[in-house]
Amino acid sequence: MPDPTAVEQGLVANLTKLEINTIIKENLTARKMPDPGNAILDIALTYAWKLNASGFDFDAWFSDPLLADSGKRLAGKERLAELRSLETELAERARLFVADFARKDLGAEQRGFDDSLITIDAKTFIALRWAAWVISQHPDVTAKRQVILSRIRQNSDQMKNLVLRLYGQKQFEQIFGCSRSSLNRIADDPRAQARDIVQIAPRDMTLLRKTWEIGVQEVVAQTVIDLDGDTITYISRRYTNPSWAHMLEVHRLGVQSAVGYWGNLIDAMRRFLTDLVSLAVGGSSRRE
Amino acid sequence: MGLADPVARAALSVMRRIGADDLLLAAADGGLAVETRSKDRLMLQSVIQLDGDIVTFVVADLPPETTLAKAHFQRVEAKLRTLIGSVNKLLATLIALPTAVIVGTTLPAAIEGEPAAWFALAAEALAAFGAVSLPGPRKLAARFLLRPAVKWMLRSRGRALLRSALTL
């Protein structure tokens, strides 16, 4: 359970933008998002499998000494400095990979990869981000695939930042660097409890849930509404055909529900602030 | 601040008491899911997030008639109404906190035997209670009582503090 005093911060943090997504999902199941550690791994593995399907050689990419776990547990500023330097070097390396990758037939040569390389670490998301960038530079990448690659890049950056915010937390340190198999192996270990009690701020939990839910699914329609009234709706070209009109109606109903809630939420916040101000103004008028 | 913190634990207990559990659940799980089935098959699933974002998953073979979708979003809106109710309760509780501080500062005056302080104290306590627990007009009346109480408290305590400062 989160700290209830942070719930309000989570509410306020993201109130300036409303986002409604409608996604077609084959084999829709009521699977619930797992504990944060497994959810972070789910996201990283989903991205890795998607990138791997393009023929990207993950084993070679992750076996780079840059990404190897030095075993050192750097803290605070040292760790941040290490990650910054990794990001710069990996970006350089990605540029060298582009020419080689562009010569390959996209997705023709698919190979598996060792999923123990995917661990709960900011490094994982830096590696995924730059792998997605390399693939996006291939001349045969379709517009549809570019959308997914762009999402992987953006979300990897956000997940990296989320993981960075968890660094230093005692419970998180216990699962830090775990791959899926090592996370499962600690099921009988006291550390297993750590998986469930990693403290994630509500706004990060919201981000984690959304990233986990959307994964690499194709979005049928997305509406983004800004507080200043700007509204942008993206509709995947495939679903503009009249035979998919009922899907767009589903999206419209979603937008209608979300806008109604958003209005009430902003109104509640406005009343709260007015009450606070009236308390404060009461005080200042007496000082006169 | 984690739950090991006694303040956070107390706040959690208050939220449970005022019935804002679903808000906590939404914060803990990153959202609330509303699911609609047809003939035992999951057809629509919406994940509602605290900030109002909604992600809806639909099966590809959703029937073209929109009855199922409309029924689904009626349930989504019912859940959103519950969430807004919880948000209002949470905010009312938070606004009650400064009021409680004011009550705390009036208490010494009442104990010292200033008769008007007892009136102020009672009014503030009622207002704080009203902000959290009372519905509709009674909440309004409780808030109405808060204003003169706060005015009196700030005036009298402010003067007393000024007097002590000048004496020093």
What pLDDT is recorded for position A1?
45
What does the pLDDT read at residue A21? 95
Burial of A247 (0-12, 13-18, 19+ CB in 10 A): buried
Q: What is the pTM of this model?
A: 0.75
DSSP summary character for residue A226: E
- Provide ipTM, 2 decimals: 0.81
DSSP-derived 3-state class of residue A95: helix
For residue B58, the chain A residue with the least C-alpha distance is A24
Identify the closest residue of chain A to B153 by CA–CA distance: A283
Residue A64, SS3 per DSSP = coil
Judging contacts by C-beta atoms under 8 Å, the chain A residues touching residue B14 are 4
CB contact under 8 A, A261 and B154: no
Give the best residue of B58, B75, B81, B162 to mutate against chain A (max A CB count within 10 A).
Answer: B58
Whether residue B114 is predicted with pLDDT greater than 70 in this model: the reply is no
CA dihedral A275, A280, A282, A285 (to 10 degrees): -150
B56-89 pLDDT per residue, tens: 999 999 988 889 999 999 999 999 998 888 888 8
3-state secondary structure of B127: helix
Q: B30 and A209 in contact by Cβ < 8 A?
A: yes
Choose among A15, A260, A283: nearest Cβ to B77. Answer: A260
Q: Determine the residue among A14, A15, A22, A28 to mutate to test chain B binding: the one whose Cβ has the most chain B Cβ atoms within 10 Å.
A: A28
* CA separation for the pair B139, B122 (Å, rounded): 15
pLDDT at B99: 63
Whole-number Å distance between alpha carbons of A255 and A46? 28
**pLDDT score of B76:** 96
Residue pair B132/B148 in contact by the 8 Å Cβ criterion: no
Of A3, A10, A22, the CB nearest to B50: A10
Residues of chain B with C-beta less than 8 angstroms from the C-beta of A30: 33, 35, 42, 45
CB contact under 8 A, B77 and A257: yes
Going by their DSSP bridges, the two strands A17-24 and A219-226 should be labelled as antiparallel
Measured CA to CA in angstroms, residue B11 lies from A7, A31, A38, B138 at distances of: 11, 30, 28, 24
Query: For strand B54-58 and strand A17-24, is the pairing parallel, antiparallel, or unpaired?
Result: parallel
Contacting residues for A225 by C-beta, under 8 A, at least 6 apart: A17, A18, A19, A231, A259, A262
Nearest by CB to B52, which of A203, A253, A258?
A258
pLDDT in tens, chain A (288 residues): 444 444 444 445 467 889 999 999 877 888 888 888 899 999 999 999 999 888 888 888 887 777 766 555 555 677 778 888 888 888 888 888 888 888 888 776 667 788 888 999 899 999 999 999 999 999 989 888 899 999 999 999 999 999 988 887 777 877 888 888 888 876 556 555 655 567 788 888 889 999 999 999 889 999 999 888 889 999 988 888 899 999 999 999 999 999 999 889 888 888 888 877 776 655 444 433
Report the pLDDT averaged over residues B40-65. 92
**Cβ neighbours of A15 in B, within 8 Å:** 51-52
For residue A105, what pLDDT is reported? 80
With CA atoms as reference, report the closest residue to A40 among A145, A138, A123, A119: A119
Report pLDDT for A286: 40
